[in-house]
């Protein structure tokens, strides 16, 4: 401020510090439609001539605590359109700049309300008279309300893991698209293919359960808040080899299951036979030990019992003869020379031994 007796001069100055984050954008304004808001602003100080400034939009519905963010493209632009908003709703907007040093300061909050959705007049002729004509309903006559353009270039392509359905976003009013729906039919009425809504950013869908040898018809619906628009109908014939491939896979799976069942059955039989042999060996060894103890008048103290091995698998030939002798002696009364018969296996008798006088 400079003043004297003649006049007073007031001027504004701005202190600029270079090498810092951007200053807040200012003069933020916007224009609203039913589903979109277009914002414009003036850039704040970028931080110096060597720094490039980019912007991000923060917005939310009035009364909601969480903010959503949208980066502004192209880089450096000072205007952006925010789509897919709800008609008749008040939104709050802020703009923030950033450079290589980080985020700057947020602009002042502005409040903008989207326009209410208009209900257009149905252009179709209305029936006259007491009874309306019986006309089959068209399944793809959109209800009244703002609707986007037609989805374009719908195609169906076979891939290694199924079939992929692709399309392009509408050329007109693409900002009204909230989600997509895929319809299909064979010989009957139209059905919905996708279980969940397909987001507006996605333009493809993978399907795996088409039946080989059948002909399908597809449509893609671009849905807005209250209405939709349909693509052209596309016809696609599924190759018959897809069906043959499924049959082959089933046959191969059945054969493999049969082979595995046979292997498991053989293993089970072998295990059961092995357990049965072990029980028989154990019972035989116990009987043989008892017979031996009875013939020997019991074991001397301090001598431990050792189970006998299997009769047919013994590696000592004399053991087989020994066991046969034990069994044979059990079945008949003992003779005076049973010890000799026992060790000779019962094949021959030993004569009496007489000694001549010296």
| Residue 84 clears pLDDT 70, i.e. is over it | yes
- Say how many C-beta atoms besides its own lie within 10 A of residue 218's C-beta: 24
Least confident of 58-67, 226-235, 262-271, 306-315: 306-315
Q: Give the model's confidence band at 39: pLDDT under 50 very low, under 70 low, under 90 confident, else very high.
A: very high
How confident is the model at residue 311, as a pLDDT? Answer: 44
**Domain annotation for the chain: domains and CATH numbers:** 15-113 (2.60.40.10), 152-238 (2.60.40.10)
For residue 308, what are the CA distances in angstroms to 34, 86, 194, 277? 98, 92, 74, 14
Helix (H, G, I), strand (E, B) or coil at 184: strand
The residue-averaged pLDDT of 281-290 equals: 76
Show the tokens assigned to 303. 């001598």
How confident is the model at residue 345, as a pLDDT? Answer: 47
Question: pLDDT: is 125 or 11 the higher one?
Answer: 11
Residues 21/98, Cβ–Cβ less than 8 Å: yes
Tens-place pLDDT, residues 340-351: 444 444 445 555
Give the distance from CA 309 to its chain's centroid.
59
Question: pLDDT: is 175 or 113 the higher one?
Answer: 113
How confident is the model at residue 295, as a pLDDT? Answer: 65
How confident is the model at residue 119, as a pLDDT? Answer: 54
Dihedral sign of CA atoms 322, 323, 327, 330 in order: positive
How many Å apart are CA 15 and CA 11, to the nearest integer?
13
How many Å apart are CA 267 and CA 31, to the nearest integer?
80
The whole-chain average pLDDT of the chain stands at: 78
Tens-place pLDDT, residues 134-184: 444 556 777 777 778 889 999 999 988 889 999 999 988 888 888 999 999
How confident is the model at residue 240, as a pLDDT? Answer: 81
How confident is the model at residue 36, as a pLDDT? Answer: 87
How confident is the model at residue 281, as a pLDDT? Answer: 80
Q: Give the model's confidence band at 6: pLDDT under 50 very low, under 70 low, under 90 confident, else very high.
A: confident
- Say what the pTM is: 0.43
Query: For the chain, what percent of residues have pLDDT higher than 90?
Result: 27
How many Å apart are CA 265 and CA 39, to the nearest integer?
76
How confident is the model at residue 8, as a pLDDT? Answer: 86
Q: Give the model's confidence band at 116: pLDDT under 50 very low, under 70 low, under 90 confident, else very high.
A: confident
Q: Give the model's confidence band at 9: pLDDT under 50 very low, under 70 low, under 90 confident, else very high.
A: confident
The residue-averaged pLDDT of 271-294 equals: 79
| Residue 121 clears pLDDT 50, i.e. is over it | no
């Amino acid at each position: 401020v400079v003043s004297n007796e003649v006049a007073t001069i007031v001027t504004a100055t701005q202190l600029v510090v270079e090498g810092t984050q951007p200053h807040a954008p200012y003069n933020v304004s916007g224009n609203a439609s039913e589903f979109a808001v277009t914002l414009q602003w003036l850039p704040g100080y970028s931080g110096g001539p060597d720094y490039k400034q980019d912007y991000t939009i923060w917005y939310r519905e009035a009364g909601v605590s969480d903010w959503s963010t949208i980066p502004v493209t192209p880089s450096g632009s000072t205007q952006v359109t925010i789509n897919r908003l709800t008609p008749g709703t008040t939104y709050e907007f802020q703009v923030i700049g950033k450079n290589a040093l980080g985020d700057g300061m947020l602009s002042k909050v502005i409040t903008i309300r989207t326009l209410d959705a208009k209900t257009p007049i149905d252009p179709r002729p209305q029936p006259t008279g007491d009874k309306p004509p019986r006309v089959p309903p068209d399944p793809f006559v959109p209800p009244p309300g703002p609707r986007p353009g037609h989805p374009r270039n719908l195609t169906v392509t076979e891939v290694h893991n199924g079939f992929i359905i692709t399309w392009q976003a509408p050329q007109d009013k693409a900002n009204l698209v909230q989600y997509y729906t895929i319809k299909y039919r064979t010989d009957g009425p139209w059905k919905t293919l996708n279980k969940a809504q397909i987001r507006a950013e996605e333009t493809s869908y993978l399907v795996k359960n088409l039946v080989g040898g059948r002909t399908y018809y597809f449509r893609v619906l671009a849905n807005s808040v209250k209405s939709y628009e349909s693509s052209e109908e596309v016809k696609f014939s599924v190759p018959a080899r897809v069906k043959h491939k499924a049959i082959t896979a089933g046959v191969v799976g059945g054969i493999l299951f049969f082979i595995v069942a046979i292997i498991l059955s053989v293993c089970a039989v072998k295990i059961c036979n092995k357990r049965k042999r072990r029980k028989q060996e154990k019972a035989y060894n116990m009987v043989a030990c008892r017979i031996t103890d009875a013939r020997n008048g019991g074991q001397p103290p301090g001598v431990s019992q050792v189970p006998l091995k299997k009769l047919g698998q013994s590696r000592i030939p004399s053991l087989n003869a020994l066991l046969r002798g034990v069994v044979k002696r059990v079945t008949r009364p003992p003779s005076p020379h049973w010890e000799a018969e026992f060790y000779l296996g019962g094949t021959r008798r030993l004569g009496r031994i007489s000694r001549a006088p010296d």
